Amino acid sequence: MLMEASALPLTPFRRGKVRDVYLVDGERLLIVATDRVSAFDVVMAETIPHKGAVLTQITAWWLRQLALRVEHHMLSADTSEIVREVPQLQGHERELAGRAMLCKRSTVFPIECVVRGYLSGSAWKEYRDHGTLAGEPLPKGLRESARLDPPLFSPATKAEEGHDENITVDRMRSLIGDRWAGELERLSREIYEAGRAIAAERGIIIADTKFEFGRVRESRVKVPEDTAEPGSVVILVDEVLTPDSSRFWPADRYEPGHGQPSFDKQPLRDYLDAEKRAGRWDGNYPPPRLPKEVIDATSERYLDIYRRLTGRSLNTDASH
């Protein structure tokens, strides 16, 4: 079933661009990925079939792959188990199927932790025009889609509405403190490198991605005595290495010097870019209407990257 918005018998906690978050109790949240879609930080009027289930189940798959490297917020992404844990949700199984995740509640850092392994998207546009990223100079002579060694850590401020803003690492430190900033950068780089290696085995390049982190006081991980906040530890939250948070390219077609074919929501971005160039859209709300062929092509990209990463077709009934 398509879902533009959820309506569950729990206390609403937050509604993001594509996710509805509910408060289960003082320690747990329920995150429901709808089929809303955003591009260029604007939410479209139309929904994309299967999108919410793909985002939830790809995230769950990645968190299982990364569990030994980083602690995360997922408690369960299995619908039956979630309903057993939260009995108020009985009767809502069809609405939840495949798209819901029961999570630890954490204090989320107000930072998007972006890691760029290749020069693409907004980073390429800024570099092409100014030779910088977030105002900081990059080496001269780089081409579009060039591989970056080492990858660039490029934080941004988070925006519930409107556009995220690239910031410098120094600005990040001023917002959350040196110790937390260092830990978020370290974890972001480690997770990206692990994810890049796993994707490479499947013929996929992860060109760039963004992570979010929170902190909790209880953890199975022993916290160093010199941590920024004794008794707290950083955990990975929200979506992880999904088509909404990452650029996925086919490795066998990679060629620097121009834009690359993509497994993510590129059909949607391409359509919106064409509308901008034609002067029919200024990049702000409201967005243009999406033709059926763009919706169908975008949905198939989501399903395709799920198959390529996990090796199986999407099952909306469970996360297994």
56 and 242 in contact (C-beta within 8 Å)? no
Q: What is the CATH number of the domain that holds 41?
A: 3.30.200.20
Please tell me the predicted confidence (pLDDT) of residue 221.
Answer: 44
Tell whether 117 and 100 lie within a shared domain. Answer: no
Tell me: pLDDT of 227 over 70: no
The range of the structural domain enclosing residue 233 comes to 108-253
Letter for the amino acid at 184?
L
In the predicted model, what is the mean pLDDT of the chain?
A: 91
d(CA 93, CA 231): 37
Tell whether 133 and 221 lie within a shared domain. Answer: yes
Q: Classify 222 as helix, strand or coil.
A: coil
Residue 162 pLDDT grade (very low, low, confident, very high; cuts 50, 70, 90): low
Q: Is there a domain that residue 281 lies in?
A: no
Q: Strands 111-118 and 156-157, how do they pair?
A: antiparallel
Residue 135 pLDDT grade (very low, low, confident, very high; cuts 50, 70, 90): confident
Three-state SS letters, 82-145: HHHHCHHHCCCHHHHCCCEEEEECCEECCEEEEEEEECCHHHHHHHHHHCEECCEECCCCCCCC
Q: Is there a domain that residue 287 lies in?
A: no
Domain boundary among 105, 135, 153: 105
134 or 215: which leads in pLDDT: 215
Q: Is there a domain that residue 259 lies in?
A: no
Q: Is there a domain that residue 3 lies in?
A: no
Please tell me the predicted confidence (pLDDT) of residue 218.
Answer: 61
Q: pTM higher than 0.85, yes or no?
A: yes
Those residues whose C-beta lies under 8 Å from the C-beta of residue 117, and which sit 6 or more positions away, are: 147, 148, 151, 192, 196, 205, 206, 207, 208
Please tell me the predicted confidence (pLDDT) of residue 273.
Answer: 93
Q: How many domains does the chain have?
A: 2
Taking alpha carbons only, the member of 211, 192, 197, 206 closest to residue 262 is 206
Please tell me the predicted confidence (pLDDT) of residue 315.
Answer: 76
Tell whether 26 and 91 lie within a shared domain. Answer: yes
Please tell me the predicted confidence (pLDDT) of residue 30.
Answer: 98
Please tell me the predicted confidence (pLDDT) of residue 224.
Answer: 47
Output the six-digit token pair for 175: 């917002």
Tell whether 137 and 219 lie within a shared domain. Answer: yes
Q: Classify 262 as helix, strand or coil.
A: coil
